Amino acid sequence: VPMEESPMKADLVVVGLGYVGLPLAQEAVRSGLRVVGYDVAAPTIQGLNAGQSHVDDLSDDDIAEMRAAGFEATDDPTCLAATDAIVICVPTPLREGTTPDLRAIEAASADIGRHLRSGCLVVLESTTYPGTTNDVVRPILEEHSGLVAGTDFHLAFSPERIDPGNPTFGLRNTPKVVGGFTPKDTEVAAAFYERIVDEVVPTVGTREAEMAKLLENTYRHVNIALMNEIAVFSHDLGVDLWESIRAAATKPFGFAAFYPGPGVGGHCIPIDPNYLSHRVRTLGYQFRFVELAQEISNRMPAYVVARVQESLNEVSKPVRGSRVVVLG
């Protein structure tokens, strides 16, 4: 959808229309904002403009509702020049196992910089290591725009906290952490998100906001690995660990329940702690907890297969030819 067909200036352009960007666009539309979605994937653009969702948390009816309220998707970067706020929600995968891949952030920043206008707010939501907003995004924006962050435009980081499939907590009722390049940038970004979510939590800067996201997922990563390690020897001890966790969880303080599984799943936990571990290694340290957690959880798929083999052997069945159902 070329932007010349859309004469109205947007309140928000969401860059990256995946499982993070699309729910953000939806809540912004519901809040009365005029929203444009920018993505480089033509099939995504075509599907959304035809009223078709490609993420689990939004239905085709949700997209139709957004379209009726004025939402449009485009792969034309000129939309970035006609908006008050731009939020970057592009993927941040790993390259070569444990190395952060920031190419999508860098490309999005260059696109934005080429069209950035004075007074605009730019927020990075993509999960990454502390320092990315200031040291990677800011120089690219400034180089391509000729503008200065904190003076000519506002810059902030606000970690996404999307939990796909969660029926209780969505974007609106999950507190939104915001940290700006300057205190004024924090103030402007917080005011923007207050139009979309119920509670905004300002922090002192972009690095602290970036670290907050990694703390959340590293906490889960390490504790899931702990349960995975305990699960292995609990079986040998004849202990029903699930029952022990249920009992321990009745304590009203000092304990949070985590559960073992065949490794670590989801969009974030297998990846995000590695961003922090990589950053720490550049300082000459080892992040031993994360590396140990990764090692333990990487062993779990093979352990689960071995347990399946044992269970089948008990009923005189081989793995070959058996039908195995995996739940979860």
Cite the active site residues. Answer: 268
State how far the Cα of 120 lies from the Cα of 84, in Å rounded to an integer. 5
Rg (CA), the chain: 22
C-alpha distances (whole Å) from 225 to each of 134, 164, 222, 264, 296 are 32, 22, 5, 8, 6
* Core vs surface per residue 199-228: b (16+ CB within 10 A) or e: ebebbebbbebbbbbbebbbebbbebbbbb
Extended beta strands in the chain, E state: 10-15, 35-38, 72-74, 83-88, 94-95, 99-100, 121-124, 154-157, 176-180, 200-202
Phi-psi region of 10 (alpha: psi -120 to 50; beta: other; left: phi over 0): beta
**Contact residues for 236 (Cβ-Cβ < 8 A; gap 6+):** none
Instruction: Calculate the alpha carbon distances from 304 to 91, 233, 301 in Å.
Output: 30, 13, 5
